[in-house]
Structures are given as structure tokens and as C-alpha cells.
Amino acid sequence: MPQLTLVQAINSTLAHEMQRDDRVVLLGEDVGLNGGVFRVTEGLQARFGKDRVVDTPLDESGIMGSAIGLAIGGMRPIPEIQFEGFLGPAYDQLVNHAARMRTRTRGAITVPMTVRIPVGGGIHAPELHSDSPEAIYAHSPGLKVVMPSTPYDAKGLLLAAIRDPDPVIYFEPKRVYRSFREEVPDEDYTIEIGKAKVVSEGTDITVVTWGAPVFQCLGALDNLPEDVSVELIDLRTIYPIDIETIAQSVQKTGRCVVVHEAPKTAGMGAEISSLIQEHCFLHLEAPVQRCTGFDTIMPYYKLELDYLPETPRIQKAIEECLAY
């Protein structure tokens, strides 16, 4: 079984599905000859041709809008938006058209497409290259939103996304792109959209996170005293959210910290806290804690690690929640 990075896992999965299904086309800025700015699509144009791995004009709305048309016309497009900060121009097409087409036509016209987007901070990138807008799209009915944090999950979730009959936003945490390798089976497998993963089992406190902060949380767990038993949940899918897995865990532990890079207010942490109090009210031993980005503009990279929920801040939040 090959040992792959997140980038390699996504690349080989795209190739796998393009080989299997000739309706799959990739389109975006620099995805062809250059293989994408993160090299996620490297080599795919040479292998599958310019008709299936398409360097488009520099127009995010154009990419999203024409991908919608491709999907309506019978293809399985995978548009890439180069960075999450460039989603703005494509927002209208994504939220007002891709997300609404099925319901406004009562199922007569659908938009099966997977939008790939590098997301999040921690890589010393320029302005508008480090945001975490997943809650915006989870709040947009008609879309599904996933964010794998490991190469294995990246493959399973990508295949599930491409084969999903509805539009799926596939966020790729760029801080994890090359941070480690793991075994990714060659064979075809999917991971169900809407299913979280228990990364480590525990009984004292639940930590819910997704994307790159999974690894900051693991770091925090390493620093905690050995007798503290933490259950770490990698949400993997932002919408539809797997409340069963979260509730089951919090009913057991009675305490929960939600960790995400996005700002606190109206972030997914707020939604998860609310769901926990609905599902686990009589089990709670402490207020649900949110350890997140601040309600500020994501700073330039000199200060990005002060903004992001890094290991010490996560550790503190866990300790305080445990001590309540």
C-alpha cells in the first residue's frame, strides 16, 4: 500500500475517478499544465488531455457558473477555486444557483459537482489565502461541505463527493497538504458524507474539530497529564453534521471543547454547542467551550499562529473545561 501525502492522495484519487468515469472533468486556474498552485492536479492533463483537465480563464464566477452548466449538460465537473479567499466572486453562482437548482426545478435539473478548495491558515501565505469559510456554506441549504484531514479520508471522501448527486464543497486543509504520509489503499473505497471519525477514544472530555486543527489537538492531548482521557472527534463532514457521534461522546464525557480555525461568532462551534445542549443537556458537567479563531480579520502571516487555535490555547481550553 502506498504511503501518500494529502496532496498525493487527492491527485491519485482524481486520476482514479477520471479513469473510471469519463464524465469527470477538472477545471480551474492553473490546474492543467502547471498542475495547480499546490500541484494537486500535477500530471493529470498530460494523462487525460486538455479537454478533461482544463486551464480556465481567471474568473472564479466563470469557473463556478460554467461548471454548473457542465453538470446540467451531463458531465461531472470538479472545479477548483485556487484559494478559499477567492470564493467571493463565485459565491453567487455557488449559493444562488448550484445549491438551488435541484429544489427550484423540483428535481428536474440537478448539479452533481465537487468544488475543490484549499482552505485554512498556517502556511505563511499572503492576504486572503488563509481563511476558513466552511460555516458560510454549511449555512447555505442545498450544499454539502466536507473537510478531510488525512490522506486516507481524503480519498474516501473525494470519491463519495464526486459520486454524490448534489453539489459538494471539498475543502482541503493546505497546512496538512504535505505534513505527513499515511497508507492509502489502491482499491476503490468511499467514506460516507455525514460521518465523523473518533480519532482517539476517551471518557473525561470530548474535543470536536476538523481539518488542520486535528493535529494541533493531537499535540494538546500529548501535553495533557496521562490520566486525562480525551475523546477526539474529527468531524470530516461539516454539513450534514454527524450529531449522533458527537452526542454519544458528550453524553459519556459530559464536557466538550470545539476547536476550529474560523472566527468564533456564528461559526460551526456555535452550531455544535447548540446541538450539544439540545442532545446532552442533562449530561453536561461544564459549559461547552469554543477554542477558535478570533472575531477579527485573519491577520497577515507574522501573527497567524497567534490567531489560529494552536496547541497551548487548545490545551488550556481543555484543562479549564475539565476543571469546571
Partner 1 sequence: MPKKVVYEASIEHLQILDEDGKLDAKLAKDTITDEQVVYLYEQMSICRQFDEIAFKLQRSGRMGTYPQNKGQEANAVGAGLALQKGKDWLVPCYRENAALFMHGLPMHYILLHWMGDERGNQIPEGCLMTPISIPIGTQMLHATGIAWAAKLRAEDRVVATFFGDGATSEGDFHGAMNFATVMQAPVIFYCQNNQWAISVPREIQMNSATVAQKALAYDMPTIQIDGNDIFATFKATRDAAKRAREGGGPSFIEAVTYRLGDHTTADDARRYRDQAEVDAWLSKDPLIRTRKYMEGKGLWSDKRQTDLEERAKRIVEEVARTALEIEDPTPADFFDHMYAELPADLARQRETMRTSSLGLSPDQPGLKTQPQRA
Q: Which of 132, 119, 135, 120 is nearest to 272 (CA)?
A: 135
- Catalytic residue status for 129: yes
Distances (CA, A) of 257 to 176, 196, 209, 240, 273: 22, 16, 9, 20, 9
Q: Whose Cβ is closer to partner 1: residue 107's or residue 225's? A: 107
Measured N-to-C along each axis, helices 6-20 and 151-162 cross at an angle, to the nearest 10 degrees, of 30
Q: Is 13 in the site for partner 1 (CB under 8 A)?
A: no
Q: Whose Cβ is closer to partner 1: residue 73's or residue 185's? A: 73
Q: Is 20 in the site for partner 1 (CB under 8 A)?
A: no
Q: Is 160 in the site for partner 1 (CB under 8 A)?
A: no
How does 205-236 read in b/e, with b if 16+ C-beta sit within 10 Å?
bbbbbbbbbbbbbbebbeebeeeeebbbbbbb
Q: Whose Cβ is closer to partner 1: residue 138's or residue 220's? A: 138
Q: Whose Cβ is closer to partner 1: residue 94's or residue 119's? A: 94
Cβ atoms within 10 Å, residue 242: 20
Q: Is 21 in the site for partner 1 (CB under 8 A)?
A: no
Q: Whose Cβ is closer to partner 1: residue 4's or residue 196's? A: 196
Q: Is 68 in the site for partner 1 (CB under 8 A)?
A: yes
What sign does the dihedral 23-90-135-109 (CA atoms) show?
negative
Q: Is 191 in the site for partner 1 (CB under 8 A)?
A: no
Q: Whose Cβ is closer to partner 1: residue 19's or residue 96's? A: 96
Region of 172 (left: φ > 0; alpha: ψ -120 to 50; beta: rest) is beta
By CB under 8 A, the count of residues binding partner 1 is 50
**Bridge partners, residue 253, by sequence:** none
* Among positions 39, 86, 89, 219, the unique one binding partner 1 when judged by CB under 8 A: 89
Q: Is 225 in the site for partner 1 (CB under 8 A)?
A: no
- What 3-state DSSP class applies to 260? strand
* Among positions 185, 240, 287, 312, the unique one binding partner 1 when judged by CB under 8 A: 240
- Choose the catalytic residue: 16, 97, 124, 129: 129
Strand extents, DSSP E, 174-321? 182-183, 197-200, 205-209, 230-234, 237-239, 256-263, 289-293
Per-residue mark of binding to partner 1, 33-62 (x: CB under 8 A): ------------------x--x-xx-x-xx
Q: What one-letter code names the amino acid at 303?
A: L
Q: Is 73 in the site for partner 1 (CB under 8 A)?
A: yes
- What 3-state DSSP class applies to 206? strand
CB 287 within 8 A of CB 319: no
Q: Is 110 in the site for partner 1 (CB under 8 A)?
A: yes
Q: Is 104 in the site for partner 1 (CB under 8 A)?
A: yes
Q: Is 66 in the site for partner 1 (CB under 8 A)?
A: yes
* Among positions 10, 14, 70, 214, the unique one binding partner 1 when judged by CB under 8 A: 70
Distance in Å, CB of 315 to partner 1, minimum: 32
Q: What one-letter code names the amino acid at 236?
A: R
How does DSSP classify residue 93? I
Site residues (vs partner 1, CB under 8 A) = 25, 51, 54, 56-57, 59, 61-62, 64-75, 77, 89, 92-93, 96-97, 102-110, 141-142, 144, 164-166, 194, 239-241, 243, 278-279, 281-282
Residues annotated catalytic, as ranges: 129
